Structure 1
Amino acid sequence: MTEYKREIALPSEPAGGAEILGFRPLYRQVKDHFVRRLVDGVWAPGTALPSEGQLAAELGVSQGTVRKALDELAAENLLVRRQGRGTFVAEHDEQRILFQFFKLVPDDGAARFPDSTVLATESAEADPAERQALALEVGETVLRIRRFRSLGDKPVILETISLPERRFPGLANGPIPNNLYSLFATRYGVTVAHAREKLKAVALSPEEARRLGTAAGTPALLIDRLALSLEGAPVERRLSLCLTEEAHYQSDLR
């Protein structure tokens, strides 16, 4: 049975600071409190959480309420349940990204993490599309990363990644890793929680085709992805031109 309770100020929140919004399932309030711990870095990636009993006692709620909140966070890939070991904050390792974010799969069906080669990085004023996607003001700058990604020895993706420069200071000064989402979490405390994608069929320009080693006009799949943080703020716009002669986009619908 779902437990309901008027909005409460859970521990670590200012007294009287909870907004009275009427009745809401208590596990949702507990879940929001746990998300705030993730956002604030109290629970860092890879951290083992206290037991359900400890969390329930700390918050003054039932163990079932805590379990339901944790189950939802696990279903959203923010936590990982490990049999016999407990519950851990999810890390942006390659396996998680393959499962949650990287959807281009070779036609032989063997999903694998792609290799990356950075072509260029630049700091520039955000263009109108970047401002709209990333909620930036006129005059704000973005860091643009251009790279191609390979499955095996064959380049199959040409990417342009746009990041709000104020949110990722110094990123361009060092090597750009293959796994950017792990870097966002460990160096900048920004966890990519989910993303929205738009897909479109396009024909490659001569320059795009040259980069991918194919003919101009070759059909490609354009993926326009907006990555969002735990708070729902846009943190990355990624345009990916994908060759699909030997690969396909795979999405598991639940």
Structure 2
Amino acid sequence: MASSTEQKVLEPAAGPAEAEALGFRPLYRQVRDRLIRRLVDGVWSPGEPLPSEIQLAAELGVSQGTVRKALDAMAAENLVVRRQGRGTFVARHDEERIMFQFFKLVGDDGARSFPVSTVLSLSQGRSNARERQALGLSKDARVIRIRRLRSIAGRPAIVEDITLPEAMFPGFAGMEIPNNLYGLYAMHFGITIASTREQLKAVAISEVDAVALGAPAGTPALKIDRLALSLERQPVEWRVSVCLTDQLHYLSELR
């Protein structure tokens, strides 16, 4: 039977960073939300170990089992990594994590390869109606636009158009754009991509995309329309990718 401590709703911690309406939810979910709030606030950085379950339980006034369940939920969401005998660490946006969580194209032979990216263009300007709708921006909001080609095993496979809210990424246009964008968002701007929403559609590639991909216009392709969300469920990036799939397929693994 749960103790009186475990039956209570957690009180918000002092200060605006922790203050939030937790509502009547399972206690481990409240603990999870409290810990995610700390990730958002940068209390723990990517790759940094979290305090032990015992320390967190004492601090929050709950049982170690409740903390363990909260951390297990966060691990299932790829927000933290559990390492046997070493503890729990904030997940990094390294290539291995992105490969299995966000990049779903796999060779027909089952091989996974992280694509190599070439930036084709980078610009800034006032957002258009589609960008505002996708990212939830105001009418006068400005955006950063990136177009890049991604190759797998030396072969052009994906051409993508990426849109970012300019206000969230000050100084971005003056930076060198790495292969791993999500890692850049986390390390330089404190923005962790926690989840994505994708829409898939079969298309024939346009003449413009055909030039980038080195394929005839009208070639069948897979279009992936993806919205990337932060830990706070805020839209961060809108990405539209056109993928040649004659040697690749899209693999979605349910847990």
TM-score by length of 1: 0.95
1:105-142 CA-to-partner distances (Å, cap 9, x unmatched) read 11121111110000000102111111011010112111
Q: What residue in structure 1 maps to residue 216 of structure 2?
A: 215
Q: What residue in structure 2 maps to residue 187 of structure 1?
A: 188
**Residue pairs, 1:31-42, within 5 angstroms:** 31-42=32-43
Gaps of 5+ in 1: none
1:181-213 CA-to-partner distances (Å, cap 9, x unmatched) read 011011111000000000011111112111100
Seen in structure 2, the aligned counterparts of structure 1 residues 32 and 2 have a Cα distance that, compared at 3 Å, is farther
Aligned-pair CA distance for 1:24 = 2.3
1:7-57 CA-to-partner distances (Å, cap 9, x unmatched) read 33244456x955373x32111111110000000000110010111011111
- 3-state DSSP of counterpart to 2:162: strand
Seen in structure 2, the aligned counterparts of structure 1 residues 17 and 107 have a Cα distance that, compared at 3 Å, is closer
In 2, the alpha carbon distance for the partners of 1:121 and 1:19 equals 40
8 Å contact from structure 1 (residues 7, 19) kept in 2: no
The aligned length equals 252
8 Å contact from structure 2 (residues 13, 19) kept in 1: no
Overall identity of the aligned pairs, in %:
62
In 1, the alpha carbon distance for the partners of 2:150 and 2:25 equals 45
8 Å contact from structure 1 (residues 11, 59) kept in 2: no
| Aligned residues: CA RMSD | 1.7
**Residue pairs, 1:22-33, within 5 angstroms:** 23-33=24-34
TM-score by length of 2: 0.94
- 1:7 corresponds to 2:30: no
**Residue pairs, 1:1-254, within 5 angstroms:** 5-13=7-15, 19=21, 21=23, 23-254=24-255
1:114-171 CA-to-partner distances (Å, cap 9, x unmatched) read 1000000010211111101101011211100000000011010001000000100111
8 Å contact from structure 2 (residues 113, 153) kept in 1: no
Aligned-pair CA distance for 1:59 = 1.2
Gaps of 5+ in 2: none
Seen in structure 2, the aligned counterparts of structure 1 residues 250 and 228 have a Cα distance that, compared at 3 Å, is same
Aligned-pair CA distance for 1:6 = 4.2
